């Protein structure tokens, strides 16, 4: 019973990644759109998009980390 609850808690944690996925996709959409409008600035836009995506991904990584901690430390 306790193990099932821990698994459920870990699954709930990873749900935080959903929002990050949606909005990281939005970063990519905006980057593609702005490269289409202004192809000369593609180098700058590319690096900015990667940095933005990577920084907002941090949130999802923390969710994943908490899930790992629940599974491997509390569940062990």
Partner 1 sequence: MKIQATLLSVIIITVFMALLLLYVNRKLKAFDPLSKPTGIVLLVITFAEMIDNMVRGKTNERVAKYLTPYIMSVAMYIFLANIAGLFALETPTSNYSVTLVLGALTCILIEVYSFRERGVKGYIKSWFEPLAPFVLLNVLSKISTLLSLSLRLFGNILSGGILMSVIYQMLGSISKLIPVIGKFNIVGVIVAPVLHFYFDLFSGVMQAFIFITLTISFIGKELPNS
Where does this chain bind partner 1 (CB under 8 A)? 43, 47, 50-51, 54-55, 57-58, 61-62, 64-65, 68
Q: How far is the CB of 55 from partner 1 (least distance, A)?
A: 7
CA 28 to chain centre: 13
1 or 40, CB closer to partner 1? 40
9 or 52, CB closer to partner 1? 52
* Dist. CA 4–CA 34, nearest whole Å: 47
User: Helix, strand or coil for residue 38?
Assistant: coil
């Amino acid at each position: 019973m306790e193990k099932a609850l821990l698994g459920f808690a870990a699954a709930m944690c990873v749900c935080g990644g959903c929002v990050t996925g949606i909005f990281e996709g939005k970063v990519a959409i905006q980057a593609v759109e702005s490269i289409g409008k202004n192809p000369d600035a593609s180098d700058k836009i590319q690096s900015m998009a990667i940095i933005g995506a990577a920084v907002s991904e941090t949130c999802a990584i923390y969710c994943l980390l908490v899930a790992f901690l629940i599974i491997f430390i509390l569940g062990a």
